[in-house]
Structure 1
Amino acid sequence: MGDVKDILGMSRVKEEKDDKPAPVKKEKMKRPEGMSREAFALLGGSHPIIASQLVSVKKNDILKKPKPSTKGIVTYQYKPFKNQARTDDLELCHWVKCYKGANGIIREPDDSEYPYAKYNKKVQLMKYNAEEYDSLIRPDSGNWTKEETDYLYDLCEQFDLRWHVIFDRYEWPQAPPPGRSLEDLKERYYTVARKMLVSRQGREAPVANHPLVKQPFNKQAEQERKRALLALLARTPQQISEDHAILAEARAIEEKRKAEAGAAKRAAAAAAAAQQAAAAAAAAAPRTTSPAQPGRPAAAPAAPGAPVAPGVSAPGALAAPGAVAAGRALSPAPAMLVSELRHPAEFESAVPPGTPSLFDAEVKTYKPKPGVYLRGAHTQAMATQQAANMTGGSRAFKAVEATLTELQSPTALFGPRVMTRATSGAWLALRSEVIALHETRRNLANRLNADDRPGGSAARRPEKRRRP
């Protein structure tokens, strides 16, 4: 390299200096204000908490004394107190935050009430008097007495409608055997409360949205719910697994039904679109020959047993829309002839060993490479390949889907549910025959349109004159 640099007149020393990478300047961390040099040196440059700890703290802020409070110096005093939520006038002591003024007088906080007394919430019960009980409640009391109802209300007020505690403490000696159940206690209280609420409003409409009126307690439904919950909790692991399997199968069935419904809807939309496209094409295309057109001889019926010329449809065979003139000669279509149609009997599942069980897009036996294959996935792939190989692409295949939809059989459109050798081969053969039918119709229409042009199909376009 030195000789080359000498020839080019380049300086070796300068190049060597230029080749050296530029030194990377390390970013020097600045010591924050208020931190001593010794403390900053202990941190180091690779300490993980430097970024979070180095904040701008002024030395004056650290050394500044806190401002004295206007209320005075904070001090704590051991003072007695009473809880307003209690009814027994119990007096206890606790530490209270107080303030000591400049004159030495200790001042207690303004709120002398116990701060936790506000959390003592009580349930508001719909109580009754003797007149309301005699006129409203007694006629529908059944085996409940006024004394037992009063006892139930006392427990509800004492335990704040905690029903399991009420049921545990309920000990009425004159209760009918075998005793009151939890549902009996709930039904008695909510029935009485609902009657009292409606009677005090005069009618039920003003309190229609109240929970006691909108959702009345149902004793039978509550008992059925508890029995169902007990049966659910008493299941064995085998029963739980069986239930999960049934639910999974039900979800799979529901998803399959949704998919089939969506596919049927899309097929119906495709058929409608194909019909509209066909109608638009028929309206835009020129008129083809027909027996009723003036100047065209009508096609004479062929005698029984007479040979049929190639390209002319025989009676009962599939033909394009519109009759073909007898004196017109058409070349044979490249599509499948009637003699080439495949019968489902050719696709038997019981075949000799070694016979391939798969078919390709041309409905011929297909021997795949060694391995495992899913016949259903392979058959669907071959059906997709048939649609791709069709002349005209996806727009032309919509007419094929419309024809398969007219058969009123989901199997003809989407394929059999169980893909055996017989069903998969017959389905592919059906699709190939329908595709051949549409291609034959298209070829026939194209030939008829070409013959209707002036000069026939052999007419040549006039040559363009070249400019001199």
Structure 2
Amino acid sequence: MTSLDVRDMLDLPNSAGPRPAKKQKLTNVRPNLKGLQREVQSLGGDNPISIVPAVPQYKKRRLVGRKPAAKWELKPFKNSAREDDMTLKHWRRKTEVPPKQEAQEGEGGEAAESEVKEELDDSAFAKFNVQVNIPKYDDEQYEAKLKDEDWTKEETDYLMQTARDFDLRWPLVWDRYEYQPASPPDTEGTESTALVPEHKPRTLEDIKARYYDVAAKMMAVHRPVQFMSQVEFSLHQLMSSFNPVQEALRKRFAENAMSRSSEERREEESLLIELKRIMARSERLNEERKDLYARLDAPPSSSNVGVYTTSAGLQQLVQQLMNADKSKKRKSILGPEGTPTAGPGAAPVDRRESAVREPAAAATPATTKKGGAGPAERRKLSEEDQVVFGVSTHDRLQSGPQFRYDRIAKMVSSRSAVLASRITNVLTELEIPPRLVMPTLEVGTAFEALLGSINVLLDTRKASDKLDGEIKLAEAQKAEREKKEGKKKEEEAGQVEEAAGAAEAEGEIKAEGAEKERSVSVARAGSVQAQQAAHKRSASVLSQVSDKSTKRQKK
């Protein structure tokens, strides 16, 4: 029901006047004055009270422990990184030494105190003095391995000392390298005729080459090449193959490239573009020329021609040629080894190939459908380069991106909950997290191999548990069967014994009756004798049965 319906029932006009607007209360945030009650603050109204009592505030008393203050002492220390024996002092917390026993007083106690005083603490910053390992050699090793006509032993020693002082910072080493050959000693009253070696200015490349040569040779002296590790061997090869001329050319080329003007840069770019256009045009011309020579040369018949003499053979040949044309699609006519092809068979050697066309035959890129030059053939990476650059080949790729961790997690999630929990327990025992922190390609491959081994182990364990259960079940069934057979044999032996006892009792009773009634009649006596013979026969049979049962039990 709306307001219009209510007005219609009350016979009120439909046009209702506007509602009076509510007065908005202007509320200002009153300051909260501490030390005054709320009623006193409300007496001021909108205007705050200007008189505010001052409430004294004091700092809280600091809780001081009852323990005595720590004692500090000024202790001397030394720095092992310094060559001089400079001793400095710093403040250190005093360590309380327990009082010594009276027996240790005297000379022994004084000697111990002197030793304690002599032991100075080492500076905490001495560990930051990291020195570079510079090759060391003696006179015999220098004469045998390191002798050079352009370098003397004194200059080599100066180079090694300078490299050690400046931590192999080659710009600093070259800047501070100021070797002066030693002059011969002057003799009084005589003129010196000794030859003074001429000072040779050394470039940075010469200094590097000499140092790397000495370091590589001394490295091979201390550890032969065949006993080096992979890192040591790579470092040895890098130092041995240093070429100062190539290094100088590289620096000169870098300087020229950095000092080029904008006009020279644009001119070089235009020349490179023109060179690419010329190379593409020459490659396309070589392709067309080789295609023409391949069509003119007839391929040698290396197969049996008699197969194509019939109509079915000719039809098969035509079908092969058509398939070859379809698969070709105007691509390069060179085979995998650079030999021209013509149809299904390839010619071994192009006899009309000239010397100008030989360089282009080494590697010719495929041309596009419109006849333009395609991309140049790329260099094949080695296995080490593929590992370094992360290149991998796949037989079949799935659609869409895929993360390595998702592929690894799918191997666990695809299993049942029980098997997944077992795999997690095995990884926990091996202290390996179930989620890899850095799932690189090598780590992912190793983790997949580990999961495969864990799955094989769990399957083997499951099969062994199943076999153990089956063996235990068979043993239980066998024991139960043997128990039943033993009980049956015991019952049969008991029945036989009972029958034998009953027969013996009956025989005794009948024998006593026969003796008492012997005078009755001869016919009854004959019957009694017959019955006794029958009882004896049954007793012999029962004894034989009991013997057989005992033999079975023994078996």
TM-score, normalisation: structure 2: 0.31
Of Structure 1 and Structure 2, the greater helix share is in 2
For the pair shown, which has the larger CA radius of gyration, 1 or 2?
Answer: 2
Larger RCO, structure (CA 8 Å, separation 6 or more): 1
TM-score, normalisation: structure 1: 0.36
